């Protein structure tokens, strides 16, 4: 008598569709992964159920059949190629690596909350990070005017004359 045992694998695909949205406005989107969670949870529990109740088989010699949900893929790509010829790109950790950022302490030496932060930019947050993210030329032109005003006002308030 010959007993034959082997390792095997089984792969399957579950598809769901979502709608990308900015994390500040998650209700404007729909998570495709969240839609799959109930099914994935049930699949993940199959190894804990006896085979007679719909679970995975068990062997005295090899033990429980193992299961691994190993890969979830999809969505709008987050790391897009943004290189533009003629521009040098440098990653900056906002708030810590900004050149010439001066924080003036209170009398007690505290600097907590002394840098005013702004959220400003062209386009609409409601389409940010989705496949329709973009802006119109007039929005870019208006943004440049706004940036100039912000920079000039900051320089005037701080009496900056040399910004080379």
Cα separation values, 24 from 128, 129, 155, Å: 10, 11, 31
Q: Note the pLDDT of residue 66.
A: 83
- Phi and psi at 147, nearest 5°, equal -60, -40
Q: Note the pLDDT of residue 83.
A: 63
Q: How far is CA 25 from the centre of its chain?
A: 13
State the Cα–Cα distance between residues 81 and 84, nearest whole angstrom: 9
State the Cα–Cα distance between residues 22 and 28, nearest whole angstrom: 8
List, for residues 76-127, the tens digit of each pLDDT value.
665 555 566 666 666 655 555 556 666 666 666 666 656 656 667 888 888 8
List, for residues 15-74, the tens digit of each pLDDT value.
888 888 887 888 888 888 899 999 999 988 988 888 889 888 888 888 888 888 888 887
Per DSSP, 19 falls in state B
Domain spans, the chain: 6-75, 100-164
State the Cα–Cα distance between residues 48 and 45, nearest whole angstrom: 5
Enumerate the β-bridge partners of residue 19: 30
pTM (two decimals): 0.47
- Decide if 50 contacts 44 (C-beta within 8 A): no
Distance between start and end Cα atoms, the chain: 87
Mind giving me the DSSP string for 52-103? GGT---EETTTEEPP--------SS-SS-----TT-------TTTS-TT---
Tell me which of 164 and 57 has the higher pLDDT: 57
Task: Please name the residues in contact with 130: beta carbons below 8 A apart, sequence gap of 6 or more.
Answer: 19, 20, 21, 29, 76
């Amino acid at each position: 008598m010959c007993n034959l045992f082997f390792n095997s694998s089984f792969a399957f695909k579950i598809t769901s569709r979502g709608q990308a949205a900015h994390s500040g406005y998650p209700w404007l989107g729909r998570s495709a992964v969240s839609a799959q969670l109930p099914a994935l949870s049930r699949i993940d529990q199959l190894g804990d159920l006896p085979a007679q109740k719909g679970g995975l088989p068990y062997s005295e010699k090899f033990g429980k059949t193992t299961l691994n949900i190993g890969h979830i893929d999809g969505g709008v790509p987050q790391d897009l190629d943004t290189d533009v010829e003629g521009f040098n790109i440098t990653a900056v950790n906002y708030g810590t690596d900004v050149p010439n950022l001066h924080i003036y302490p209170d009398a007690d030496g505290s600097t907590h909350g002394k840098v005013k932060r702004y959220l400003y930019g062209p386009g609409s947050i409601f389409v940010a990070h989705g496949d329709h993210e973009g802006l119109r030329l007039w929005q870019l032109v208006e943004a440049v005017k706004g940036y100039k005003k912000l920079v000039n006002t900051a320089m005037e308030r701080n009496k900056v004359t040399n910004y080379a």
